[in-house]
């Protein structure tokens, strides 16, 4: 197991978590700390959404709203990642082109030596 709680092997284990007051058993090959962090994240979203609501809120409806919020976060991060990768690729292409130009310039400055023997 890595220091961040992620399992390196494919061995499945059962991790107990609590979300919205309900205990769930999740089978995973990830470390327990990671799974608990995911559950805490979802639980925090549910609590935030439930704050200020009537005591008789519909858990299924709230879970769907949280799922949409988390999916939105995921999509936004994927888009941000895609844009960053495109920007890096563009910069890399520019650096490669400049490197080619500099190599060509250096090669044009290097004059092949002609060694003539004096007789």
How far is the C-alpha of 99 from the C-alpha of 105, rounded, in Å? 10
Residues 90 and 52 in one domain: no
User: Rounded to an integer, what is the distance from CA 90 to the centroid of its chain?
Assistant: 21
The CA-atom distances, in angstroms, between 23 and each of 17, 20, 36, 44, 53 are 6, 8, 12, 15, 22
Could you tell me the residue range of the domain that residue 35 belongs to? 1-57
Same domain, 75 and 43: no
> pTM for this structure?
0.66
- CB distance 15 to 28 below 8 Å: yes
pLDDT at 43: 95
d(CA 96, CA 5): 39
Task: Tell me if 103 is assigned to some domain.
Answer: yes
CB proximity list for 16: less than 8 A, separation 6 or greater = 23, 24, 25, 26
Residue 63 included in any domain: no
Count other Cβ atoms within 10 Å, centred on residue 84: 10
| Per-residue model confidence (pLDDT) at position 50 | 85
Would the pLDDT of 15 be above 80?
Answer: yes
> Are residues 53 and 12 part of one domain?
yes
Identify the pLDDT of residue 106.
92
Same domain assignment for residues 37 and 75: no
Looking at the structure, tell me whether residues 86 and 43 fall in a common domain.
Answer: no
Number of domains into which the chain is organized: 2
């Amino acid at each position: 197991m890595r220091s961040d709680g992620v399992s390196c092997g494919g061995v499945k284990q059962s991790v107990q978590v609590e979300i919205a007051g309900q205990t769930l058993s999740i089978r995973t090959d990830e470390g327990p700390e990671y799974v608990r962090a995911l559950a805490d994240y979802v639980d925090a979203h549910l609590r935030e959404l439930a704050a200020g609501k009537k005591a008789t809120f519909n858990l299924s409806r709230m879970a769907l709203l949280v799922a949409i919020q988390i999916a939105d976060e995921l999509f936004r991060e994927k888009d941000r990642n895609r844009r960053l990768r495109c920007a890096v690729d563009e910069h890399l292409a520019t650096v490669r082109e400049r490197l080619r130009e500099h190599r060509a310039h250096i090669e044009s400055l290097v004059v092949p030596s002609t060694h003539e023997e004096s007789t």
